Structure 1
Amino acid sequence: MSKKSLAQMLKQARPFLYLVLQQFGYAGMSIISKFALNQGMSQHVLVVYRHAIAAVVTAPFAIVLERKTRPKMTSSVFAKIMLLALLEPVMDQNLYYTGMKFTTATFATAMCNVLPAFALIMAWICRLEKVNIRKLPSQAKLLGTVVTVGGAMFMTLYNGPMLNLPWTNGSTHHPESVIAANNQVSVKGALMITAGCVCWSSFIILQAITLKSYPAELSLTAWMCSMGAVQGSVVALALEWGKPAAWSINSGSMILAALYSGIFRSGFAYYIQGLVMKEKGPVFVSAFNPVGLVIVAILSSFILSEIMYLGRVIGAIIITVGLYMVLWGKSKDQRGSESSEKVLASSLATTEETMIEMNETVKIPNQELVVTIMEPKEDQDSNQLDEPNIT
């Protein structure tokens, strides 16, 4: 294999690798944050700390690396940034963390797998995604989205027989048994997480729109995290009023949750998401979200000793099949658009060449026509001048 073909292969695989790494970051954040919340950390304060850390980390890179390419900030772009900060850092994460307090890390991640369906609908409404129900790629995207969400719901609602894994044999405590004992709390947590997913889907679509007028991923990430920290502080002060102890960090897990989620979940993830979104679109980005559920289920089994059930394994397989269908449909759409652009470019080039040839062909007869018209005129003038001499 030549170096050129290897480089081309790596370039094509880069968006997939980026998003898989992003999902590993999400999975780690869910487990670490759940551990910190169980120790009494305020979810509203965690939102503020993580985005303040993300802003401090990403701002220097944005200032240095994008100083020559950063577009001018306008009032329209700034308004979009403020709305982005409200949708994801403030609304989505406060709802998500609050819902996670009433559930488990696996359950919270599973509920977020409605994101691809929401994102596909919103992208289609905003004309960021083409859906033609008569074409096979669009059918694959729609069916794959349904299968992916169905697999996530199956993984959430159906347990099946327990799998006796070596690393969970000694565990008798299972957080989901507490949830099952209190249905009302479980429904409350599920509704909060679902509402957060709607905000998250809106954030992804608006980020794709904003990048068209402000194509600076690092700078946009730094702005979103900064404004998210400011807006989140207002929300945290209002909800934790009179509770100064809520702002204190009493354990290493709380520090780790703020640092990890700030650097990887906000700073790194927003930037990677913007890079891939410019090339592949918002639906492609959201389609990888169910991968996080599989990662969380596996890691939770090791780290938190959550019991693994057969239903989770079957759900993970269904999610993988649905994700493959979505990615196949997206790849066919992208190839179709690239071939259409090539056909259009070649037709324009052919038309231009034809016009040039026609102009050259038309110029020659015109010159001959001028000569033939002028010659009789000269003969006529000469005849008129010669007539007096003959007489």
Structure 2
Amino acid sequence: METPKREVIEDFTIIGGLIVVQMIYAGNSLLLSYLMSLGLNSFTLIIFSAFSTFLVLSPLCIRFERTKWPKKFSLKLLIQLLLISFGGITLFQSFFLQGIKLTSPAVATAMPNLAPGLIFVIAWVFRLEKVKLSCMYSQIKIVGTLLCVIGAITMSLMHSTIDTPTEKEVQLLTLLTDDSKFDKQKIIGCVYLMAAVFVLSSNIVLQATALVDFPAPVSMCAITSLIGAITTAVLQLIQEHKLETGWPAMSFGHLIGYSLLGGTINGACVSFNGWAIKKRGPVLVSMFGPVATVISVILSVITMGDSITLGSLAGMLLMFTGLYFVLWAKGRESLSIKDGDTLKSEYDTETPLLS
């Protein structure tokens, strides 16, 4: 039986759109790295981008999700929203931007591929993910998680090695001790990125529980973006005793304009991903994550002159292999759940978080 023309067009749209979204994410990482190299404060980036995302997503929330809003916000839900905002906006983006600054966009886009494995571990610890050690799918998920972690550590260490010295540097490098063979700044940057991914993974687990009482993901994103912008501004006031609203290399008006443009693009990407998940499921969407890493590597080499070692590529390969192990096992697990006697709600806390 031939596939209907409409379904072919829809498949083409989804696959092409997901590739474009990953290209945007890769380009955004490169742009952020460039802006911070010119002296733009990371707190300023977080505040403006989060507030812009709130402005862009708010009309969509009112139009499409108003009926899903809870009639009353309980104290538990308010605390969850505050934690999601502080973790997902302030902490995650602060660690992530600092990691980009100290490493490279290629490494920064590779690290989030650890998230599915970490989410699995965190959910397992809090008994939100069912694991049977005798089950083949659970064993594959565990192996995939270990491969992700080993790959991330390998890539971090290999990316942090000092490049091959020139003839003029040979005499200087012979004076260095063995402990100096690694670039400490890049190692610290990788630690920041790993911390960012851990915060992101914990945040996703918290979001999964919050969506039970607030089943409106786009609305939650808008609300947490607003709260995150406010908490980041407060943190900047506490830490730096001032609130920067500009940048010497750019006027305030231009900064507002670029922030709104970034918020619009981010809102469009979030909305498209949500539509793609609804049409084809989260497994397919997650499998396009490594595309951003590959694009970032290419762009970093072309535009910024970064060099990618064979060891770094091997680490990325291990991470991607582990990621696909976890996603494949979760996909097969999801099929077995659908074939069972019980049907579970999309936001049921008993439903595996990675399904």
TM-score range, shorter chain: 0.7 to 0.9
Question: What is the SS of the residue equivalent to 1:68?
Answer: helix
In the other structure, the counterpart of 1:117 is 117
1:44 and 2:37 are equivalent in the alignment: no
**Where do residues 261-280 of structure 1 align in structure 2 (5 Å cutoff)?**
262-265=263-266, 268-269=269-270, 272=273, 276=277
Cα shift at 1:41: 0.1
Cα shift at 1:32: 0.8
Cα shift at 1:19: 6.5
Distance in 2 separating the partners of 1:195 and 1:62: 31
Q: 1:315 to 1:193 in 2, by over 3 A?
A: closer
The amino acid of 2:65's aligned partner reads E
In the other structure, the counterpart of 1:173 is none
Maintained 8 Å contact 1:66/1:219: yes
Cα shift at 1:314: 3.5
In the other structure, the counterpart of 1:230 is 230
In the other structure, the counterpart of 2:172 is none
Maintained 8 Å contact 2:144/2:326: yes
Q: 1:3 to 1:108 in 2, by over 3 A?
A: closer
Tell me the alpha carbon deviations over residues 242-281 of structure 1, each in whole angstroms, 9 at most, x when there is no partner: 475x633624996787456534457744884698499967
Q: 1:260 to 1:132 in 2, by over 3 A?
A: farther
In the other structure, the counterpart of 2:33 is 34
The percentage of aligned residue pairs carrying the same residue is 27
In the other structure, the counterpart of 1:324 is 324
1:56 and 2:55 are equivalent in the alignment: yes
Unpaired segments ≥5 residues, structure 1: 161-179, 345-391
In the other structure, the counterpart of 1:106 is 106
Q: State the TM-score, normalizing by the size of structure 2.
A: 0.75
The amino acid of 1:129's aligned partner reads E
The amino acid of 2:263's aligned partner reads G
Maintained 8 Å contact 1:36/1:257: no
The amino acid of 1:210's aligned partner reads A
Maintained 8 Å contact 2:113/2:320: no
In the other structure, the counterpart of 2:220 is 220
Question: What is the SS of the residue equivalent to 1:63?
Answer: helix
Maintained 8 Å contact 1:32/1:257: no
Distance in 2 separating the partners of 1:189 and 1:343: 44
Q: Return the structure number with greater helix share.
A: 1
Distance in 2 separating the partners of 1:2 and 1:123: 41
Tell me the alpha carbon deviations over residues 189-236 of structure 1, each in whole angstroms, 9 at most, x when there is no partner: 233322222211111111111112211122111111111111111112
Maintained 8 Å contact 1:116/1:287: no
1:67 and 2:66 are equivalent in the alignment: yes
Tell me the alpha carbon deviations over residues 133-165 of structure 1, each in whole angstroms, 9 at most, x when there is no partner: 2111111222122223333433333369xxxxx
Larger mean CA deviation between 309-318 and 52-61 belongs to 309-318
Provide the alpha-carbon RMSD of the alignment.
3.9
In the other structure, the counterpart of 1:190 is 190
Maintained 8 Å contact 1:114/1:149: yes
Q: 1:114 to 1:326 in 2, by over 3 A?
A: closer
Distance in 1 separating the partners of 2:142 and 2:280: 20
Question: What is the SS of the residue equivalent to 1:134?
Answer: coil
Unpaired segments ≥5 residues, structure 2: 161-179, 345-355
The amino acid of 2:218's aligned partner reads L
Q: 1:149 to 1:258 in 2, by over 3 A?
A: farther
Q: 1:188 to 1:278 in 2, by over 3 A?
A: farther
1:295 and 2:295 are equivalent in the alignment: yes
The amino acid of 1:236's aligned partner reads Q
Cα shift at 1:59: 0.5
The amino acid of 2:55's aligned partner reads V
**Where do residues 199-210 of structure 1 align in structure 2 (5 Å cutoff)?**
199-210=199-210
In the other structure, the counterpart of 2:91 is 91
In the other structure, the counterpart of 1:334 is 334
Question: What is the SS of the residue equivalent to 2:150?
Answer: helix
In the other structure, the counterpart of 2:131 is 131
Larger mean CA deviation between 207-216 and 251-260 belongs to 251-260
Q: 1:212 to 1:317 in 2, by over 3 A?
A: same
Cα shift at 1:328: 1.8
Maintained 8 Å contact 1:99/1:189: yes
Distance in 2 separating the partners of 1:329 and 1:63: 37
Q: 1:159 to 1:235 in 2, by over 3 A?
A: closer
The amino acid of 2:301's aligned partner reads S
Question: What is the SS of the residue equivalent to 1:158?
Answer: helix
Q: 1:78 to 1:284 in 2, by over 3 A?
A: farther
Q: 1:51 to 1:296 in 2, by over 3 A?
A: same
Maintained 8 Å contact 2:33/2:100: yes
Question: What is the SS of the residue equivalent to 1:341?
Answer: coil
Rg comparison, structure with higher value: 1
Distance in 1 separating the partners of 2:256 and 2:146: 38
The amino acid of 2:108's aligned partner reads A
Aligned residue pairs: how many? 323
Maintained 8 Å contact 2:143/2:322: yes
Maintained 8 Å contact 2:22/2:288: yes
